[in-house]
Amino acid sequence: MRIAALVPFLSVSAFAAPAESDAHHDKRQAYGVTSKYCSTASGGLCYLQYYVSQTAPTYRVALPSDAAQNSAYDVVLQVIAPNSLTWAGFAWGGSMIQNPLTVVWPNGNSGQATTSSRWANSRSQPTVYSGATLKSLSSSRNGTHWSVEVVCTGCSKWNNKGLNVNGPTTFSWAFSTTAVQNPGNSAGNFPVHTSSGVFSQPLDYGKNAKTLFTNYINKKG
Ligand code: HEM
Ligand SMILES: *[C@@H]1O[C@H](CO)[C@@H](O)[C@H](O)[C@H]1NC(C)=O
């Protein structure tokens, strides 16, 4: 029911049409546009970006170009969310259950954020997942948006699965508009999502020369 859940919440006119070059690779992807986003503020680091609308988070993923299938490498996740959203989550294996979840939320109005590594075996409150660790690179908040950028160690592979570095990989996402009760507690409970969805795209847009990537994650945070 993810489409039904999304439609009343998002302004339909805000949906961007998929770019022709970005054929969706997963039939479950109902909305959004994937693109390559390179940031001068990030020293030229490039990300695979997923954008749905002004009322949903934008997600950006970066990784080193030498990432090997089902191996351990760090990945960068950037989340930019409108201030109406109380938390945003990213599921590295494309579903709520049985894959690393990276969940982030603002902690107050001054730009602080809480980052939390989670795992769910059922579609209920995900528990803290120590198989992946998060290092916050930056977080900010202004009059319209909050944003968080993390490095995840442990999100590239889990069990006998991992990101697909050789073809389309499917991610999923979720967010809520209900307040997080104890936003300073990274192990605390948070409310169920108001919307969720998936997107699928080869990781190429987010691949970066190893040195550039390593310098970026070491320089910040
Ligand atoms: C309090 C925490 C949470 C609760 C109670 C919860 C509950 C649920 C339930 C009941 C569904 C099935 C609803 C349906 O299919 O219509 C669902 C689906 C889903 N949830 Fe959650 N969820 C929580 C947190 C999260 C988080 C943190 C993420 C991602 C980071 C997430 C991602 C998804 C996705 C992508 C789906 C679609 C179906 C799937 O892939 O499993 N959820 N959730
Ligand atoms: C507010 O923050 C967002 C996310 O970082 C950014 O895209 C936007 O340009 C900022 N707005 C202003 C007015 O600075």
pLDDT tens digits, one per residue of 140-152 = 999 999 999 999 9
Residue 44 lies in a domain: yes
Nearest 10 degrees: Cα torsion 94, 187, 58, 136: -110
**Which residue from 47, 109, 140, 142 has its CB within 8 A of the most atoms of ligand 2, so it is best to mutate?**
142
Q: How do residues 44-93 score in pLDDT, each as one tens digit?
A: 999 999 999 999 999 999 999 999 999 999 999 999 999 999 999 999 99
> Can you tell me which atom of ligand 1 is nearest the CA of 91?
30
> Can you tell me which atom of ligand 1 is nearest the CA of 118?
27
Q: How do residues 8-40 score in pLDDT, each as one tens digit?
A: 333 333 334 444 345 556 777 778 999 999 999
Q: How do residues 124-168 score in pLDDT, each as one tens digit?
A: 999 999 999 999 999 999 999 999 999 999 999 999 999 999 999
Judge if pTM exceeds 0.85.
Answer: yes
CA of 172 relative to ligand 1 center, distance in Å: 10
Residues 29 and 199 sit within 8 Å (Cβ to Cβ): yes
Residue 11 lies in a domain: no
Residue 23 lies in a domain: no
Q: What is the CATH number of the domain that holds 59?
A: 2.60.40.1210
> Can you tell me which atom of ligand 2 is nearest the CA of 143?
1
Residues 131 and 119 sit within 8 Å (Cβ to Cβ): yes
Residue 104 lies in a domain: yes
Residue 112 lies in a domain: yes
Residues 221 and 209 sit within 8 Å (Cβ to Cβ): no
Number of domains in the chain: 1
Residue carrying structure tokens 């996740």: 77
- What range does the domain containing 159 cover? 28-220
DSSP sequence for 22-85: ---SSTT--S-EEEEEEETTTTTEEEEEEE--TTS-EEEEEEETT--TT----EEEEEEEETT-
Residue 14 lies in a domain: no
Residue 16 lies in a domain: no
Which residues approach ligand 2 with their CB closer than 6 A?
80, 140, 142, 144-145, 147
Going by alpha carbons, the residue nearest to atom 12 of ligand 1 is 123
Which residues approach ligand 1 with their CB closer than 6 A?
1-2, 89-91, 95-97, 101, 103, 118, 123-126, 172, 174, 190-193, 196
**Which residue from 37, 145, 147, 149 has its CB within 8 A of the most atoms of ligand 2, so it is best to mutate?**
145
Write the CB contacts of 64 (distance below 8 Å, at least 6 apart in sequence): 73, 74, 207, 208, 209, 210, 213, 214
Residue 183 lies in a domain: yes
Q: Determine the Cα–Cα distance for residues 2 and 143; give it in Å rounded to an integer.
A: 29
